Amino acid sequence: MSLPPILISPSVLDSDLSRLSEEVGRIESADLVHLDVMDNHFVPNLTFGLPVVQRLLEHTSMRADVHLMIENPDTWATAYAEAGAASVTFHAEASRAPVKLARELRERGARAAVALRPATPVEPYLDLLPELDMILVMTVEPGFGGQSFIDGVLPKIARTRAAIDALGADIWIQVDGGVSRQTIGRAADAGANVFVAGSAVYRADDPAAEIATLRELATASWTR
């Protein structure tokens, strides 16, 4: 089986949101731009919503990796796909009909992904893998950037990778939270291939160089 692509998806959560389009321009060497949509209900933080994402996608050629940390994604998620998001992730804990929603996202041209909080087990969703293009395993509690990576989630990543490999499917595993030079290798070794790095990239003196370093470290752990 061929290895999945190693992708770096910096989160704009740690950027200057008052200059969002310019801040996205600082990470053009990345594979995706990670957009955290928070509603102050599902998580205790508020960022931006559909109108901001729509306008941003009109001003960037980067592929958008939209992460919905919102209540009722069944109602709102498809609009982000229609706006041009390359990937739309909704939380398993919030969706009432995850298979239906995943199918609707695919019908609108987006990769369909489900996110799991650190304490949410992956096993109930393994039978649904053929309906998904990606699983996001949160490595912090969702809601705020700059948190410390939770190593206790690594076995869940490994179990998810084993199930995907057994299925022989092209399904990505994304990790989000505390991803840095110190942690990305462990996440890749466990089986993740898509890495959301916010503060590690945006607080670096040279974001492009940091993206390259993170990609190299993840690739080394995959191909050791």
Give the span between the Cα atoms of 91 and 196, in whole angstroms.
16
Distances (CA, A) of 107 to 19, 102, 104, 112, 172: 32, 9, 5, 10, 19
36 is catalytic: yes
176 is catalytic: yes
Give the span between the Cα atoms of 169 and 172, in whole angstroms.
9
Q: Which member of 31, 39, 133, 176 is catalytic? A: 176
Q: Which member of 36, 39, 65, 133 is catalytic? A: 36
Residues with a known catalytic role: 36, 176
